[in-house]
């Protein structure tokens, strides 16, 4: 084997696996932090925890893109729900997290890294989240 072709590849860290109790305590902590903010409290309609990640969702009024026939399920017959932000949790102390923003191509981009509280405050202050 040719040694010149070897390359070290660093894998991104994986989200922590959370028990049901961990998810409930994380949800309470996130809801308490969001309640301290004004922008997130107004924008975030739902918070969900899946696979070591906290997803924030926002409701938008329905819109129709010309030339498409895609049917989107509506909430209350008027709103469409889209991901607003995501916080990836890397440890059970919630001190190592990353704040993510979803791009137009459905890929997530890291905006900030820090504690859970720092990520929520960055989502409040950042222009990435509107």
Per the domain annotation, does 5 fall within a domain? no
For 79, the token pair is 């709103």
Per the domain annotation, does 8 fall within a domain? no
Per the domain annotation, does 71 fall within a domain? no
Would you say residue 7 has pLDDT above 90? no
| 81: nearest Cα among 73, 89, 90 | 73
Per the domain annotation, does 72 fall within a domain? no
pTM for the predicted model, two decimal places: 0.80
Which structural domain range is residue 105 located in?
14-56+86-125
Query: Range with the lowest mean pLDDT among 22-26, 73-77, 80-84?
Result: 73-77
Number of domains in the chain: 1
Per the domain annotation, does 40 fall within a domain? yes
Average pLDDT, the chain: 85
Per the domain annotation, does 66 fall within a domain? no
- The answer to whether 100 and 25 are in contact (CB under 8 A) is no
């Amino acid at each position: 084997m040719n040694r010149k072709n070897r390359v070290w590849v660093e894998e991104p860290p994986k989200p922590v696996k959370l028990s049901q109790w961990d998810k409930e305590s994380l949800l309470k902590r996130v809801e308490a932090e969001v309640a301290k903010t004004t922008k997130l409290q107004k924008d975030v309609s739902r918070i969900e925890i899946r696979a070591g990640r906290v997803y924030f969702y926002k409701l938008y009024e329905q819109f129709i893109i010309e030339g498409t026939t895609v049917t989107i399920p509506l909430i209350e017959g008027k709103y469409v729900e889209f991901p607003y932000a995501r916080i990836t949790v890397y440890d059970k102390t919630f001190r190592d997290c990353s704040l993510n923003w979803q791009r137009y191509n459905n890929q997530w981009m890291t905006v900030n890294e820090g504690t859970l509280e720092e990520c929520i405050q960055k989502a409040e202050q950042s222009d990435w989240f509107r």
